[in-house]
Amino acid sequence: MKKIDFTRSFLILVMGLFIVSCSNDDETIDSILGEDEEIVNEENSADDSDETDDTSNNENSEDDSSDSDDGDDDGNNDDSSDDDTEGEDSSNDNDSSNEDSSEAMLVGDWRLVRATVNDGQASTVFNGSTINFPFTSTSKDEDVDISFQENPNIIQGMGQYTNVIEFSFLSLNFTEEATFDSPLTNGSWEMINDELVIGDNTQGNGTFVINELTANTLILQTDFEQTVPTNDFELDANGVLIIELARN
């Protein structure tokens, strides 16, 4: 009976020691696991910090690149603006120089070589009806002198020429002659681009297109609208008047 009690007591003691041992092992395992978790957390924290630093560096790099591009764009825009301004100034200088050269070439004494009317159309009243028909007009016996002066810009025209007009009317051919004064009369003159504007001019509309201007030749063009007297009737004529002058 006593042996049985001793054996039971021994077993109880062994079981107690085993339980205590297991309990200590769990604490040790928990401690080890806790340390591992702290290491993992520290590594994760370090990785997050590295990623944050990399992202920040990338953003700063992109900002620097953007600022550099903006600076280049601003520099290019400034250069382009400067080039455009210089181009406009150069163009204006060239235009002014060309006008001055043309005006200098215009100044002097000229004589009329010929005066013709292109695309002529005429009308007249016959037996109470208005009849329209084409005509041609040339000049002969030109005795016209024209002088351009500067400072002030004054033009003087004097002399006359004979206008020869040809047309068909009621199936009949006509050739009529009329005496005209100088196509350019006294007044002021101004050159604007490719036009010669003459003030106080009684012929044409006062504005003449410069078709040609050289050292010895001046060809002008203007609208022609005038009543042309003939031996039998008057013609209301219009067309394009071409005036050719040569330097004296």
> Could you tell me the CATH number of the domain that includes residue 145?
2.40.160
Q: How many CA atoms lie within 13 A of 188 on its CB side?
A: 5
Distance of CA 220 to the CA centre of its chain: 29
Do 12 and 74 lie in one domain? The reply is: yes
pLDDT band, residue 204 (cuts 50/70/90): very low
- Per the structure, the count of domains in the chain is 2
The tokens of 189 are what?
Answer: 């003159």
Do 228 and 124 lie in one domain? The reply is: yes
Lowest mean pLDDT among 16-25, 27-36, 59-68: 27-36
pLDDT band, residue 78 (cuts 50/70/90): low
For residue 241, is pLDDT > 70?
A: yes
For residue 13, is pLDDT > 50?
A: yes
Supply the DSSP symbol for 1.
Answer: -
Range of the domain at 32: 1-106
Do 54 and 152 lie in one domain? The reply is: no
Last residue of a domain, one of 77, 106, 135: 106
Question: pLDDT digits over 123-160, tens only?
Answer: 999 889 999 999 999 999 999 999 999 999 999 999 99
Do 243 and 125 lie in one domain? The reply is: yes
The DSSP result for 21-79, as a single string, is: HHHHHHHHHHHHHHHHHHHHHHHHHHHHHHHHHHHHHHHHHHHHHHHHHHHHHHHHHHH
β-pair partners for 145: 111, 158
> How many whole angstroms separate alpha carbon 149 and alpha carbon 113?
20
* Phi/psi at 170 (5° precision): 55, 45
**Average pLDDT of the residues of the chain:** 75
Question: pLDDT digits over 176-200, tens only?
Answer: 898 889 999 889 999 999 999 998 7
Do 97 and 19 lie in one domain? The reply is: yes
Highest average pLDDT, of 38-42, 100-104, 197-201, comes from 100-104
